[in-house]
Structures are given as C-alpha cells and as structure tokens.
Amino acid sequence: GEDVEQSLFLSVREGDSSVINCTYTDSSSTYLYWYKQEPGAGLQLLTYIFSNMDMKQDQRLTVLLNKKDKHLSLRIADTQTGDSAIYFCAETLGNTGGFKTIFGAGTRLFVKA
Amino acid sequence: GAGVSQSPSNKVTEKGKDVELRCDPISGHTALYWYRQSLGQGLEFLIYFQGNSAPDKSGLPSDRFSAERTGGSVSTLTIQRTQQEDSAVYLCASSDRIGTNEKLFFGSGTQLSVL
C-alpha cells in the first residue's frame, strides 16, 4: 500500500543531535523530502534528496538514504529549541495518472532546554 | 501572489451545512494538492490537480467531498452535509514540477470546526 511510516515523537536536549527516521514505499521514487511544520502554520520544505545519492548535507541537516531498505533519516546537529516542530517525510509516487506526493504521519520533535 | 493563500483561515459550521474552502496557488504553478490534517494525525492526501484536471481523486473520503480548479489557478474544495468527523485543518499546496522533482509550497490552512 501507500504508506510512509515515521515514529510519532522524539525528545532531545538542546545541543544534542536529533535523528528522525522514515520508511517509504516506492523504490522507484526519484526524490524524497523532509518538510517542517511549526505550530499554526503550513508545511515548509526543509530539504530533499535525489535517489541516486546516499547522503546530503546542508548546514546542520544531514539526510541519509538507504534505498535497499527504503529508509530515510534526517539528522539535526546541535538541536535548538527553535527546531521544535513536526517533521514530515514525503515521497512522490508515480502512477498511470501522473504522480503525487504522499506524507508520513509526522514526527513531533520536542527540544528541552 | 507571494505564496499560497487559503480562505477562510477559520470556519465554524453546523452539522449538515455545506462549506466551501478556497485555495489560491502560486502564480504559474501547474500542480495543486489538497490534504487534510486532523488533530494528532498526519497529512491525509485528498486530491491533486494537474492544470484543471484531477488525475487522482482517490483520497476523497466520501461523495460529500468534491473539488474543482478553474483556469489552472484557483481551487475550491466543497464539503456537503458536513459531519463532525470532517473537523480538521485543510491544507492546500501548489508545485511547479520540474521532471519528477516536486517541491510543494503550502498555505496556512483552513481550520474547519463542525459543531
């Protein structure tokens, strides 16, 4: 089925690293995404990775992709209280009608000062 | 406009009434999505448009839900005979697809409360 799976909660201390994990469904997905949602707001694209890459680094963010296991992770280094939000993993699925983007349930990250 | 605009931002209605939710995508974006986010739940795909056509309506929960898009721009999501379980935040997103890379830009959502 079409299911992107994530754990629902993660709690870390300020300054520690956070690792948010995701498993996706379609091995043919060419792009995988991480979105961030702050309270009362819509989602905002954080980063994405092309499927022929294993890793992408962007400042404090590191994305790791394991295509064999269909596993995606987002690591946030030196986590700050401002990183508290819901993080969504997403993939784009192809079908006869074109393709569409589906999301996981989101991981709520709590950062303790 | 500068971003995706949704209206109203909040809607309170009585059970059984019809509601219309509007989405103004970023100018020139060809793809438009509707998602639903219930309290404590993830993002539920409802429907997406490529131009004015909707290749995938599989996420619409029942025949009380419908959506249209005109002129390749504004979209309206209509819920008829609303039920309490329809209460949620309805999010719209638009995208300027480049190949298979789809970066979605989201509006702030419409909070629908059905009493």
Q: Which residues 45-104 of chain B have a CB within 8 Å of chain A?
A: 45, 48, 50, 55-56, 91, 93, 95, 99-104
On chain B, the residues whose CB falls within 8 A of the CB of A106 are: 42-43
Strand partners, A47: A34
Average pLDDT (B53-62) is: 88
Residue found under tokens 């709520």: A108
Query: So what's the pLDDT on residue A61?
Result: 96
B1: pLDDT strictly greater than 60: no
> A37: phi > 0 → left, psi -120 to 50 → alpha, else beta; which?
beta
Query: So what's the pLDDT on residue A97?
Result: 55
Average pLDDT (B89-115) is: 90
Strand partners, B114: B13
What is the token pair recorded at B93? Answer: 């997103």
pLDDT tens sequence across A64-92: 999 999 999 999 999 999 999 999 999 88
Query: So what's the pLDDT on residue A29?
Result: 75
pLDDT tens sequence across B2-55: 799 999 999 999 999 999 999 999 998 989 999 999 876 788 999 989 888 888
CA distances A66 to A1, A89, A101, B28, Å, are: 20, 14, 19, 35
Whole-number percent of chain B with pLDDT over 70: 98
Nearest to A2 by CA among A19, A36, A34, A25: A25
Q: B42 CB near a chain A CB, below 8 Å?
A: yes
DSSP secondary structure of B21-53: EEEE--TT--EEEEEEE-TT--EEEEEEEETTE
Query: So what's the pLDDT on residue A95?
Result: 58
Q: A48 CB near a chain B CB, below 8 Å?
A: yes
What's at B22, amino acid-wise? R
A101: pLDDT strictly greater than 90: no
Nearest to A94 by CA among A64, A55, A62, A51: A51
Instruction: Give CA–CA dist B4/B7, Å, rounded.
Output: 10
pLDDT tens sequence across A17-61: 999 999 998 777 788 999 999 988 889 999 999 988 999 999 999
Instruction: Give CA–CA dist B73/A89, Å, rounded.
Output: 27
Relative to beta strand A9-13, strand A107-112 is parallel
On chain A, the residues whose CB falls within 8 A of the CB of B106 are: 42-44
Of B100, B105, B109, the CB nearest to A30: B100
pLDDT bracket for residue A94 (50, 70, 90): confident
Average pLDDT (A97-110) is: 85
Phi, psi of B46 (to 5 degrees): -110, -55
A1: pLDDT strictly greater than 70: no
